[in-house]
Amino acid sequence: MRILFFSVVLLVLTSCGSARVNYDYDDQTDFTSYATYNYFGDMETGLSELDEKRLMDAMDATLGEKGFMFAEEPDMFINIKSTVFKAQSANNVGVGLGGGNGGIGGGVSIGIPVGGSKMTRELQIDFVDSNKDMLIWQAVSESPFREGDTPQEKSEKLQAVVDKIFSKYPPE
């Protein structure tokens, strides 16, 4: 019983800290025809200058591992958008009061939020075909965000998000 309890606690703790990613892509696109990339020059990422560099370094490393090369005249351009927002806690405690007599009953229930709102970073990455100027692939991730992280923690978290985002690229 004790092992089951600790397993459930561990599962809850590890599931709360990971990124969720949604993907969309043009199913008529042949993704094997893309070998080079670059970033849009006028990108407004919404990230600090240091976080933008960390993210782009993580993306460059991951795309390099997937066989892509950075180029001045690429096959595709990458656009990055990021926002940070407060997400309301999904944890609630229900308090109920009820009674009944002779087949007649009634009750009152109140949901009390547990924990405060949490900061969440939404990161959107778009791949745009440079010849057709058409969006071909998009990933939108949501992950926990904490302003007070150390530079090392920020780099590790951004790398983890990038790894998760590109785990489904290219689409099958």
Burial class, 90, CB count within 10 angstroms (exposed 0-12 / middle 13-18 / buried 19+): exposed
- Tens of pLDDT along 11-63? 444 444 588 999 999 999 999 999 999 999 999 999 999 999 999 999 999 99
- pLDDT, residue 19, reads 86
- pLDDT, residue 132, reads 95
- pLDDT, residue 3, reads 54
- Tens of pLDDT along 92-145? 666 565 666 666 666 666 666 655 568 899 999 999 999 999 999 999 999 988
Token output for 87: 């997400």
Q: What are the sequence ranges of the domains in the chain?
A: 17-168
Mean pLDDT score, 153-166: 94
- pLDDT, residue 154, reads 93
Pair 70, 36: CB distance under 8 Å: yes
| Confidence (pTM) | 0.72
CATH class of the domain defined by 17-168? alpha beta
Q: What is the dihedral of CA 57, 62, 65, 68, to 10 degrees?
A: -80
